[in-house]
Structure 1
Amino acid sequence: MTAALDLTRRSFLSAAAAAGGGLLLGVSLADPASAEAMIKPFAPNAFIRMATDGSVTLIMPYVEMGQGTYTSVPMLIAEELEISLSSVVLEHAPADENTYANPIMGRQETDGSLSMRVAWEPMRRAGATARVMLIQAAAARWKVDAAQCHAEDGYVIHQASGRRAIYGDLVQAAARLPVPENVPLKDISSFKLIGTPQKRLDAPAKVKGTAQYGIDMKVPGMKIAAVSASPVLGGRLQSVDDVEARKVAGVREIIRIDDAVAVIADHWAAAKKALDLLVIQWDDGPNAGFSTEQHKQNLENAVNAEGVVAVSIGDERTAFPNAASKVEADYRLPILAHAPMEPLNCTVHVNDDRCDVWLGTQASTRAQVAAATALGLPVEKVAIHNQYLGGSFGRRAEADNVTQAVLIGRQLDYPVKIIWSREEDIQHDFYRPAYFNRLRAGLDASGRISSWSHRVVGPSPLARWLPAAVQNGLDPDAVTSTLGPYKFENVHVDYVRYEDHSFQTGFWRGVGTTHNVFIVESFIDELAAKAGIDPLEYRRQHVDAEPRALAVLEAAQRLSDWGKPLPAGSGRGISLLRDFGGTILAHIAEVTVGENGAVRVTKVTCVVDCGRIINPDTVKAQIQGGTIFGLSAALYGEITFTNGRVDQTNFDTYSAVRMDEAPIVTVHLIQSGDAPFGVGESGTSGIGPAVANAVFAATGKRVRQLPIALG
């Protein structure tokens, strides 16, 4: 049982009860007032359980997909509780939106680079409250003033007498104490863990191969399924000739659902071999004629529609015609797939009145609802068993594979693990949509930007995810980062929503920032060239009232050798972004362009101010990984459709940067403020424009669309 207390921004919602001989603490993840104002009726909570052996179990409301959450969040607890990081044991939280919803999203999700921002104060307060209660329990035992005691390395110590009590011996007594309100948090100057490099807690299991990903799941009596779904969205299964497939040793069943067919076998090799022998006829449905070229033209045509105003400052429409000089440009971005290294998979066991689902998911309750809806079960009859995620980038926030798995699983009387092949994964994604952007800017006589206009044309994944967030036709995600970190006197930003329902759209690492940072930072470079001013200096002039941005630019200039001459055919380019709650990140890329137009990125210097840093190693790894992910998209990433079908199938046709192509990526950290900002997605967005601007510096050719193609 937990008992709730009122919470202000700097207070704590907690409760204690004797449970299994331990101390149980509830942790609020948000100010209820702000949470209530944003989204009702969620009341987000996480739980800490302390055992008599002194171990602390953190029931994690977030998932680990490579971003380091399973180390950084325990650091917050361990810091305030005065225990070693290795003392914290983690459990995946069950699907329970009332308890574990992300307060900003209002759902039980791990996305948006929100985890550390949301957990920063409440998780520390949870540790601090537990520490205070343990000290009180020890003081009561020793009949001394609690103020004379302190916690250290998992012990409570009475300074005067030197008496020591290990936490495990105190938890039962602490559990009977009233929960104090507004316990003091440690001063930042006294931090021992937070801000120091810490090895990942999940690394040993991953190195040894014992970490449990969804694709590793084993359930007694389980069989394996390979699937083929309609290659055209909205298509239906027409007929299946399975004569040859049934001859494959190990094949158990061939299951049909409306838009897919599955081969059930004793192992993957048999299932996949048999699947390839099926002769399938599809009814392609209404999207059979869809093509990427037509889609691009539709987006461009939509730019002439009336947009919904997102930002209006001053009088751009008057300022632009009167500018000393003017620049206008159209920018285009392609459709992108997520292509996580672990293809989608889902293990299910469907009984008459219950369903168990094992998978790695960013959104446990979304998966739970999807399974329950497909089976006609109450949600409480569906148990989600979350696992590590082998990459996601937004893909595993969807639940289409769960729906497919339970529709197949309900036709079987044993558990089944459905695995999508790489081809199935790439060709049935919720894709980062294509966008068309039209910009214009006026410059004054000194070259400074006097007016700015940006029209974004594209679909709204947010309208499907969270319809209430799209007000009066404006998708706030679609227009995020449309001004970058800059301030202009006359601004007009608007959004034209264009939906093409021939393919599914979703969020891709970096969300709306992934397209707008490329647009804004590329266009800023065009304006710098028009003004005849160094691109870095030009940015500095337009963030001259932002000390944090200026500090990032100064460090980037110094650490990257900006301005140092490069050989012919080489160039440096810069981008600067501000997003994810306040993170400021500069990328400076060095590229070499071959005679055939091939672009090779040789060096990337990153400078990031993400507020208060919890684990520097994690921040660096996130920026490096995001940079490589974004570079893959900038150089190679594009999904195309012909006759409704995705043309790309695997990494041979949807390429990623290989090891021998990867540049040296150096990350420099600037710490500021008292709270962290988002990091997980920021590295992806800034590398594309930095490379495009470097290409211009090397060749004089302006890049206005991705992927970069100079040949």
Structure 2
Amino acid sequence: MTIHDITTSRRAFLAGTGLVIGVAIAPKFLSAARTGVPAGGAGDLKPMNAFVKIGTDDTVTVLSKHIEFGQGPFTGLATLVAEELDADWSQMRAVHSPTDNKIYANLAFGLQGTGGSSSIANAYEQMRKAGATARAMLVAAAAEEWKVPAAEITVEKGRMKHAGSGKESGFGAFADMASRQTPPADPKLKDPKDFVLIGTDLPKLDTREKTNGAAIFTLDIMPDGLLTAVVAHPKHFGAVVKSFDDTDARKVMGVVDIRQIPQGIAVYGENTFAALKGRDELRIDWDLSKAETRSSAELAAEYIRHFDKPGLEATNTGDVAQAFQQPGLQTVEAQIVFPFLAHAPMEPLDAVFIKAADGSVDIYNGAQFPGFDQQVAAKILSLDETKVRVNTQLAGGSFGRKAQFGSPYMQEAASVYAAIGGDRPLKHMWTREDDIQGGFYRPMYAHKMRGAVDAKGRITAWEQIIVGQSIMAKADLDSTSVEGASNLPYRIPNLKVTSHNVTLPIPPLWWRSVGHTHTGFAVETFVDELLTRVGRDPVEGRLALLDAASRHAGVLRKAAEMADWGVTLPEGRARGVAVVESFGSFVAQVADVSVGADGAPRVHKVWCAVDCGVAVNPNIIKAQMEGGIGYGLGAVLFDAVTLDKGGRIMQSNFHDYRSIRINEMPDVSVEIIKSTEKPTGVGEPGVPPIGPAVANAWRKLTDAPVRQLPIVSIMSS
């Protein structure tokens, strides 16, 4: 199965969230200052289980099986442990766990990895059990030492007390003794009504270090004797090296060596400047015989030609052809083209390799799937996997970029390290230009839509054709291409959705919210057009198409209430609405938009309602909604990776693939629907609704529907 196949059936996996008990064995690290391994506390750490260590100084260190790149698992997982442990929040610490696909498996995937907005969802019961187990072991140790019944010991805010004897202690005094206790087979968990920490706005554990500069990222790791390597890649996808001349490159001061690897030409330098300068001096003749040389416009034209061909059936209910023949219906047709999108995280890809005296290798990188990285590196370095330790570091974002089957970046990094022999520590790095021009994009997609609506706003027929690359490299139906379209929440009796997989040399990858990035936009703008064609209000019209008790309807009503939907707006302002379910969470957004001084959309305010089950940390949920809105808004307004007439990538950095500026970020108000459902994801679901909400408002302002993205670039082209 695939990562996305499993995440789409998250309700099934949440049923089995058992605790894996074991002792986490720390890899052979260098000093924390040199490697970026966070300190768990001043005292010795005693393992209670694979996820919890208690320090003799009373600190509690949670080993996070999920990478922390800004989305909050350090804080979220620590909250779950602290709740059941009855710890005080000031005691809590978090570090990345070692690499182990069994002990630290994501229960949604079956291997260690972070993605699909699954961190809290898959670990909700597992980490609570880890905390409850540690609590029981501490209490058992105290009961043995104090010679009192364990049932008489209470724990609150990190202090254990026995009222009858007056004895009291912190966790640290019993850490060693507790670590030798037999763990309970099935520790009892709290009733949610007794939660003290879950559901509160606890401060994030990693904020202080990230704001004062103390946090260590891969780029900060600088062991003695470090070499820096960069690789020259082709400017056309699918091109390979025919020949190269490195004469001038070797003359650059600080260049140590130059080697050809499968991915291109690697340049090794004593420092970053030397490596980059040497790369600039390379002369490479590229073989374009299998390369993509068509432009984005030519690719779009090819996509559109697929609309007239039979496709892969995703959904087919009722009789769509017959439904369109019924009299008294309004019919709307639309074609929408979505561009390639880069992930553009703040921290480009990088990795550090350090050989130990015994020939084993430590790798330091922001590993989203550390087990994959370990397997790939071990194979390329001709080492047993036990001789390769992947030490996960804090990372500056990903949005899907680091979540790659087969770890192609690690393939390149390990090849670079192996090619020079590995006698010196090596840092392999990509520049932002490498990353934005490096492929693994959200694929280009084209949608053709046809719908029929009656005078009461009932959508009687809907046909949708989706054309794009299969992220899963499947010949049959790829669920990531049609999710959000093949399972519409609206009552539409006649619905047909088909898909076409296009094969290109351009490597595709999931991008924050995956298929919902385009299906959410297409569906929610088209629903809006159908409703307004017959004079129905966009909110009331949607509610009439939804089950009144559904979570879709719940967030839609809340967002409309927050925005005071229907209020008279100032001249030149319009509001648009959208509601999208993704990754098990339900999000509705209302956007307040005007025409800016430059003629482009100006988004002033966004109201967002989210239903993600139990809100473990409302502060993080709100932050993720705000971040998703900013990320999605930048993409819908400005972003596209385009190929010129020869197939070369035109964008290279934030000047031409730009993020939203701080003065362009709207005011955002977020409300969380109170729920007792198990928690679901929040890292991605904030992204899909913002695009259609803005586009729907823009159509009201300009009377022109958005048929191609991004809005601003298309306007100026």
Using the TM superposition, give the Cα deviation of residue 101 of structure 1 relative to its aligned residue in structure 2, in angstroms: 2.0
Q: Cα distance, 1:604 vs. partner?
A: 1.4
Indicate the residue corresponding to 2:523 in structure 1.
Answer: 520
Aligned residue in 2 for 1:100: 104
Q: TM-score scaled to structure 2, two decimals?
A: 0.89
> Sequence identity, in percent?
39
Partner of 1:623: 625
Cα distance in 2 for residues equivalent to 1:145 and 1:97: 39
Distance 1:493 1:219 in 2: 58
Q: CA deviation at 1:450?
A: 2.3
Once residues 207 and 337 of structure 1 are traced to their aligned partners in structure 2, the CA distance between those partners, rounded to angstroms, is 26
- For 1:631 and 1:87, locate their aligned partners in 2 and report how far apart those are by CA, in whole Å: 38
String of CA shifts for 1:345-371, please: whole Å, max 9, x gaps.
122246895443221121111212222
Determine if contact 1:324/1:442 at 8 Å carries over to the other structure.
Answer: no
Which whole-Å deviations, capped at 9, do the CAs of 1:353-394 have from their partners, x for residues lacking one?
544322112111121222233334333332212111111111
d(CA) in 1 for partners of 2:325, 2:98? 58
Q: Secondary structure at the match of 2:532?
A: helix
Partner of 2:480: 477
Number of equivalences? 678
In the alignment, what sits opposite 2:657?
A: 654
Tell me if the contact between 1:349 and 1:409 (Cα under 8 Å) persists in the aligned partners: no
1:331 aligned partner: 336
Name the structure 2 match of 1:406.
414
Equivalent AA in structure 2 for residue 498 of structure 1? N
For 2:507, the equivalent position in structure 1 comes to 504
Deviations, residues 644-696 of structure 1 (Å, cap 9, x unaligned): 32111111111211112222122222221242111001111111101100101
Deviation for aligned residue 1:256: 2.3
Query: 1:327 deviation in Å?
Result: 2.4
Asked if 1:160 is matched to 2:164, the reply is yes
SS of residue in 2 equivalent to 1:97 = coil
1:39 corresponding residue in structure 2:
none
Q: Does residue 1:417 correspond to 2:419, yes or no?
A: no
The residue identity in structure 2 corresponding to 1:389 is: A
Q: How far is 1:432 from its partner?
A: 0.3
Counterpart pick for 1:702 among 681, 702, 705: 705
Deviation at 1:267, TM superposition (A): 1.6
Q: Which amino acid aligns with 2:415?
A: L
Counterpart Cα distance in 2 of 1:547 and 1:238? 59
Out of 194, 197, 201, the position equivalent to 1:190 is 194
| Residue 402 (structure 2) aligns with | 396
Amino acid at match of 1:198: L
Whole-Å separation in 2 of the counterparts to 1:391 and 1:8:
26
- 133 and 356 in structure 1: CA distance in 2 versus 1, 3 angstrom threshold: closer
C-alpha separation between the residues in 1 aligned to 2:238 and 2:289? 6
1:343 shift after superposition: 1.4
Partner AA of 2:688 in structure 1: S
1:20-419 correspondence to structure 2 within 5 Å: 24-26=47-49, 46-322=50-326, 324-325=328-329, 326-349=331-354, 354-398=360-404, 399-412=407-420, 413-419=423-429
- Separation of aligned partners in 2, 1:167 and 1:299: 62
CA distance in 1, matches of 2:25, 2:653: 50
- Cα 1:14–1:103 change in 2 (3 A) is closer
Q: 1 CA distance for matches of 2:665 and 2:351?
A: 32
After TM superposition, give the deviation of residue 607 of structure 1 in Å.
1.4
Give distance in 2, aligned partners of 1:243 and 1:16.
55
CA separation of 1:350 and 1:237: change in aligned 2, threshold 3 A: farther
* Partners of 2:52 and 2:134 within 8 A in 1: no
Q: 1:14, CA displacement in angstroms?
A: 5.0
**Aligned mates of 2:281, 2:544 — CA distance in 1:** 64
> For residue 29 of structure 1, what is the aligned residue in structure 2?
none
Letter in 2 for 1:646: I
The list of structure 1 runs, each at least 4 consecutive aligned residues, that deviate by more than 6 angstroms after superposition, is 16-22
Which stretch shifts more, 354-363 or 608-617?
354-363
CA contact (8 A) 1:295 1:500 kept: no
Q: 1:485·1:576 contact (CA, 8 Å) conserved in 2?
A: no
| AA at the equivalent of 2:543 | R
- In the alignment, which residue of structure 2 is the partner of 1:439? 449
Matched, 1:645 2:648: yes
RMSD: 2.5
CA spacing shift, 1:510–1:12, aligned 2, 3 Å: closer
Deviation at 1:9, TM superposition (A): 4.7
Please tell me whether the aligned partners of residues 696 and 702 of structure 1 are also in contact (alpha carbons under 8 angstroms): yes
- For the residue of structure 1 that corresponds to 2:678, the secondary structure is coil
Distance change in 2, residues 1:205/1:647 (3 Å): same
Q: Structure 1 residue 494 and structure 2 residue 497: aligned?
A: yes
Name the structure 2 match of 1:38. none
**Cα deviation, residue 25, structure 1:** 4.2
The CA distance in 2 between the partners of 1:293 and 1:661, in whole Å, is: 29
Kindly indicate whether the alpha-carbon contact (under 8 Å) linking 1:78 and 1:85 is maintained by their aligned counterparts in 2: yes
Which SS does the other structure have where 1:170 is aligned?
A: helix
Kindly indicate whether residue 466 of structure 2 is the aligned counterpart of residue 456 of structure 1. Answer: yes
Shift, 1:172, TM fit: 3.8
CA distance in 1, matches of 2:439, 2:96: 26
Determine the C-alpha separation between the residues in 2 that align with 1:282 and 1:547.
Answer: 56
Residue 516 of structure 1: how far off its partner (Å) = 0.8
Counterpart-to-counterpart distance in 1, 2:349 and 2:639: 20
SS in 2 for 1:303: helix
Q: How far did 1:257 drift? A: 2.1
Query: Aligned-pair distance for 1:596?
Result: 5.9
TM-score, length-scaled by structure 1: 0.90
Q: Which amino acid aligns with 1:178?
A: T
Q: 1:111 Cα shift? A: 0.6
| Contact 1:52/1:171 (<8 A) preserved | yes
Shift of 1:497: 3.3
Deviates more, 1:317-326 or 1:400-409: 317-326
